[in-house]
Amino acid sequence: MEAVEPPPALAGVTVVDVSTLFAGPLAATVLGDFGADVIKVEHPRNGDPARGHGPSKDGVPLWWTLLGRNKRCVTLNLSRPAGAGLLRRLVSEADVLVENFRPGTLERWGLSPSTLHEVNPRLVIARVTAFGQFGPYSARPGFGTLAEAMSGFAAITGAPDGPPTLPPFGLADGIAALATAQAVTTALLARHTTGAGQVIDMAIIEPILTVLGMQPMVYDQLGVVQRRTGNRSVNNAPRNTYRTRDGRWLAVSTSAQAVAERVLKLVGHPEVVDEPWFASGATRAEHADELDAMVGGWIALRDAGEVVAAFEAAEAAVAPIQDIADVFEDPQYAALGTLQPVDDPVLGPVRMQNVLYRLSATPGRIRWTGPPLGAHNDEIYRGRLGLTCDELAALRADGVI
């Protein structure tokens, strides 16, 4: 008897994604990876700007191929009364709405949370904005870059004598997307108890501040403002990148005291372990120059393979600095299946990041890549909402879809 494959974790959950670019759409992608039916709503003229972001191959935008996976795509002009009416019909049977318009925009279109909850009291509405739904900055336009600047991230990133450094990718957006997906599942779980939906107010400036750790408490209690330290840490040492004899770069971390002791013994300086200042990460960090000279000097005399093997034998933490080409060849990523091949109708097999985590009983999967603009208009509007061919033709002619 063949084993029956269990339904995915979010089977039966319908998500209407009207957000654009990165934080909101990526949250919806995560939900779709675990079985939610994600209906992606885009403006009929140009669609989500993510379709034009980054490189393309054979006319296929690669960022959208990833971001739009597992979504059914429809077009809809929400600023038109007929378009707003169609969205109300879509959410009347949905579980989640993800949006990232500036505060007041949905309200101006007659799509406020209170209006949508009249249509569907069980709807979870995730509102993703740069600054949140209220406060002095709430009406400003904003992107993840501003969150990386405002949160304190850029201020502590970079060399001590260099400028603040922004990440070369959407870090704040990505963190906010993961937080939004978690918030949605939390709200869906709460709905089992309350029977009612609710509104999630996700400000992109906040999740990145959360992952910066104890900085707010350190400033609150000690008045200390963390400064840029390059690859070093204010909490432990040695912690840096070191170049090997064959020109490779390796990262070493000693967050645990036992690991720090193993590293210094390995590089031929067991006497340092007995120094009083070596007993804690914070005091070791005060001697970073001295420790870096010991560790870096030892590593510089050896090839990367020899160093990694010696660190592993000593049960000390080390890893190569890898670019994306190295990631494709890394045996650990291969074992985990982190880069998953997916068939695209134009590109053929493409490798992209797999679903975010592994569930033993209800695993997620990638069912398809990002579809063309409006690819599922007929499927959703006729099959789900019951519109006729004539009604669809009229909506197209009027620019609503």
Contact 214, 281 (CB under 8 A): no
* Amino acid in the structure at residue 186: T
CA distance linking residue 354 with residue 341, whole number of Å: 9
Conformation bin of residue 39: beta by default, left when phi > 0, alpha when psi is -120 to 50:
beta
Superfamily of domain 240-328: formyl-coa transferase, domain 3 (3.30.1540.10)
Residue 6 pLDDT: 83
Computed from CA positions of residues 24, 25, 28, 33, in that sequence, does the dihedral angle turn out positive or negative?
Answer: negative
pLDDT of residue 4: 73
The 3-state secondary structure of 324-380 reads HHHHHHCHHHHHHCCEEEEEECCCEEEEEECCCCCCCCCCCCCCCCCCCCCCCHHHH
> 188-221 as b/e, with b when 16 or more CB fall inside 10 Å?
beebeeeeebbbbbbbbbbbbbeeeeebeeeeee
| Dist. CA 188–CA 127, nearest whole Å | 15
The 10s digit of each residue's pLDDT in 44-60 is: 999 999 999 999 999 99
- The single-letter code of the amino acid at 295 is V
Q: What is 14-210+340-397's CATH topology?
A: Rossmann fold (3.40.50)
Distance CA 234, CA 211 (A): 16
Distance, CA of 4 to CA of 327 (rounded, Å):
34
Among all chains, which residue has been given the structure tokens 């260099």? 162
Q: Rounded to two decimals, what is the model's pTM? A: 0.95
Distance CA 256, CA 145 (A): 33
Q: Which of 333, 389, 382 is nearest to 86 (CA)?
A: 382
Domain boundaries along the sequence of the chain: 14-210+340-397, 240-328
CA–CA gap between residue 344 and residue 178 (Å, rounded): 25
Task: Copy the structure tokens of residue 163.
Answer: 């400028």
- Helix (H) or strand (E) holding 243, with range, is strand 240-243
- For residue 240, report the phi and psi dihedrals to the nearest 5 degrees: -170, 180
Please state, as a whole number, how many other Cβ atoms lie within 10 Å of the Cβ of residue 133: 15
Helix (H) / strand (E) containing 133: none
Sign, CA dihedral 262-264-270-272, equals: negative
The pLDDT score that the predictor gives to residue 238 is 96
Which tokens sit at 19? Answer: 């957000």
What tokens appear for 311 in the block? 């660190």
- The confidence score (pLDDT) of residue 1 equals 56
pLDDT for 2 equals 62
**Of the candidates 393, 390, 392, 349, the residue with the CA atom closest to the CA atom of residue 368:** 349
pLDDT along the chain (401 residues), means of 10: 79 98 97 98 96 94 97 98 98 98 97 98 98 96 95 96 96 98 98 98 98 94 96 94 98 96 97 97 96 98 98 96 97 97 97 96 96 97 96 96 97
Question: Tell me, what's the pLDDT at 5?
Answer: 78
Which element (helix H / strand E) includes 153? none
CA 14 – CA 91 distance, rounded (Å) = 9
- CB count, 10 Å around CB of 125? 24
Any catalytic annotation for residue 173? yes
Query: Among the options 33, 95, 173, 292, which is catalytic?
Result: 173
